[in-house]
Amino acid sequence: MANLENKKKVLIIDDNNNLVTVLVDKFNVSGFEAVGAFSGQEGLKKALELHPDIILLDLVMPEMGGLEMLKQLRLDPWGKQAKVMVLSVLDEPTYVANAMDSNVVGYIVKTDFSLDGVVKQIKTILGVS
Amino acid sequence: MFPRLYLKHLLYSFSVLLLLVATLFLSRSYIEKVVEDPLQTVFISLVIIIVFFSYIIYLLLTYNTRFDLEIWNATKKVALSKEQFKRLYENAPVPYLLLNKNAEIHDPNKAALRFFGVLPEEIDGKNIFSYISGEDRGPAERLFQYYKSGMPINRKEVDMVTKKGDIRSVQLSVFETGLAMIFDITEQKRLDKAKTEFVSLASHQLKSPLATTKWLTEMLTSADFGELSPKQQEYIDKLHDANEDMVDLVNVLLNVSRIEMGSLFVDMKVTNVEELSESVLHELSFLINKKGIRINRKYHGLLKNIRSDPKLLRIVIQNLISNALKYTPEGGTVTITFEEVAGERRIKVSDTGLGIPKSQQDQVFTKLFRADNIRGLVDNQGTGLGLYLVKSVVGVIGGSISFVSEENKGSTFTITL
C-alpha cells in the first residue's frame, strides 16, 4: 500500500454520474485519491475545501458550466494557481481556445482518449511515475 | 455647335421662306399685270410685307415657346429623377446617412432613424464614429482618421450602439462623397451562432454517452477489478469496437452537418502531411496486419511543410487510406504517393482492390453512395458519407479531388492542394 500522505488528490467534476464513477474508480486503483462532484457548484465547493492536486473539469453542465466554475475558482487565492485539466467531448477549436485562455493545463477530448491514456496524462502533469 | 432644336428651327424657317419666294416667282405674270396700277402695287407689296413679317413674328414667337418647352421638359426630367432619388434615399430599407467633412451626420434616412431609434434632431450633427460601441475607442478613432484622410471605408465590421443601448453588429461603409451606409448583420450573426451551437449541442449529447461506454468497457477489460473469462473478454472487446465505430460515425455526421451549415472552422497552419499519413497508418495498423496488406510509401521527402488545416487534412487522408484498406483483398498493396509538380501538391492513395464499377463512377462523391460490388462484403460497414465528406472537406481547404478506378484492379484517389 502506498503511503496515504503521498497520494495525489484528484477532483473529478462532471454531471454524468457514470463517467465520474468510472474515473474515480480508475484513479483510485491507479494510486490516487479521487473524489467526484456532479455539478459545477459542488465541484467548486469541494475544490476550495480539499485543495486537490488537479481538477478534471467537464465544460457542459447545467446551471454552472465548466468555464463559469473556473472563473469563480480563479477568484480564490488558492484557486488562482490550481491545476485544471478540461475533460470534454467538444472538440471545436473555439471551445479548446476558450478553455486554454482560462489558464488550464490541458484539454482532453473524451472520445479521443482511453481511460489509461487519461491516467497517464495526469501522471505526467503531476510528475508521478 | 448648334443645339439640335435651334438647327431644326432654322431649317424649318428657311424652307417656308423658300416656298414664299417660289410662290412670288410663279405668280410674276399676274404681278406684272397688276403693277400698272400704282395703288394695286402698293396694296400687294403691303400684303407681301405683312405676310412676311407675320411669319417672322410667328417664327420668333414659336421659337421661344418651343425652346422653353424643351427646357421645361428637360428640367422636369431632372427634377423627377432628383425626386425619385430622394424618395429612394428616404425610403430605402438600408440606413443611409450623409456626413460632412468632420463625419458629422446630416440628412439621415428613415431606416437610419429607425436603426438608431432616434428623431432627426437627436442625431443631427453627431459624429457617426461616436456610435461605435466598445470601451476601447481605438478602432473608432482609427476609422475616423481614415475617413478624414479621404479614404473610403468598405464594409468594415463594427458594433454600433443605438439610443436604447442595444448593440448591433453592422458592416459600415462610407464613400468618398460622405454617404454612409449601415448594413445590419446582427440577425445573420445570431443565426450563424445558433447553427454552430446546435452542432455543438448535438455533438455533446451524442458523444457523451459514447465516451462513458468507452471508458466503462475499458475499465472492465483492464482487470483492475478481477479477470474476465476469455469469452466475456471477447464480448466486451466487440462492445468496445462497436462503440468506437459509433464514435467515428457520429464524428462523420457532425462534420457533414458542419459543412452543410457552413459552420466548419478552418484553421490553416504549417502542416506535415507525412506525419499525418504515418499517424493514420499507425491508427489502422491492426487492420493492415490482419489483412496482410503491404504499405508502399512514396513520400519522396515532400509535403513536410505545407499550409493547410492538419485536422481537416487528416480526415481526408484517414478516409482515403481506410477505404483503400477496406476494399483491398488480403495480401494486396496500398500505395501512398506525394508529388509536387509545378507548384501543385498531390497526395495519391492507390490500392489493388475491388475498384468502382464504371457505370457508378459519376456518383462516387454523392451522399450515401455505396458501390454495387461491395454490398455483399462481410465487413461492409461504410456509411456512404466518407467520400462525400472528403470531397467537401477538400473543397473547404482549397483543393480538389479526382480518381481513376477499374473494377477488380484497384482505384487511385488524387488530392491536389
Are B70 and B128 members of one domain?
A: no
Residue finishing a domain among B88, B108, B140: B88
**What's the ipTM?**
0.87
**Phi, psi (degrees; rounded to nearest 5) at A54:** -150, 150
Please, which pLDDT band fits residue B409 given cuts at 50, 70 and 90?
Answer: very high
Cα→Cα distances B213→B42, B216, B271, Å: 129, 5, 33
Please, which pLDDT band fits residue A1 given cuts at 50, 70 and 90?
Answer: very low
Our CA-based measurement puts residue A69 at a distance from the nearest CA of chain B, in whole angstroms, of 19
Asked if residue B243 is part of any domain, the answer here is yes
Are B166 and B248 members of one domain?
A: no
Of A92, A95, A111, the CB nearest to B247: A111
Residue finishing a domain among B88, B104, B131: B88
**Which 3 state secondary structure label does DSSP give B307?**
strand
Are B76 and B111 members of one domain?
A: no
For residue B207, list chain A residues with Cβ-Cβ distance below 8 A. Answer: 89, 110-111
**Which 3 state secondary structure label does DSSP give B370?**
coil
Asked if residue B189 is part of any domain, the answer here is no
Mean pLDDT for the stretch of residues B387-400: 91
Indicate if the pLDDT at residue A87 is higher than 50. yes
For residue B225, list chain A residues with Cβ-Cβ distance below 8 A. Answer: 25, 29
**Alpha carbon distance B210, B287 (integer Å):** 22
Q: What percent of chain B shows pLDDT beyond 90? A: 45
Domain span at B228: 195-416
Residues of B with CB under 8 A from a CB of A: 196, 200, 203-204, 207-208, 210-212, 214-216, 218-219, 222, 224-225, 247, 251, 265, 267, 311
Residue with cell 482511453: A114
What pTM does this model have? 0.61
* Domain count within chain B: 3
**DSSP summary character for residue A74:** T
Are B337 and B391 members of one domain?
A: yes
Of B204, B222, B265, the CB nearest to A89: B204
pLDDT of residue B52: 79
A6 to chain B, any CB pair closer than 8 A? The answer is no
| Residue B383 amino acid letter | T
Residue finishing a domain among B58, B88, B118: B88
- Cβ of B224 within 8 Å of Cβ of A26? The answer is yes
Please report, for the domain that includes residue B324, its CATH number: 3.30.565.10
Q: Which domains does chain A have, with CATH numbers?
A: 9-120 (3.40.50.2300)
Closest CA to B18 of B29, B6, B26: B26
Asked if residue B190 is part of any domain, the answer here is no
Asked if residue B277 is part of any domain, the answer here is yes
Are B129 and B20 members of one domain?
A: no
Are B35 and B114 members of one domain?
A: no
Are B179 and B209 members of one domain?
A: no
Please, which pLDDT band fits residue B105 given cuts at 50, 70 and 90?
Answer: very high
**Alpha carbon distance B397, B312 (integer Å):** 8
Cα→Cα distances A14→A81, A116, B204, B338, Å: 21, 18, 13, 44
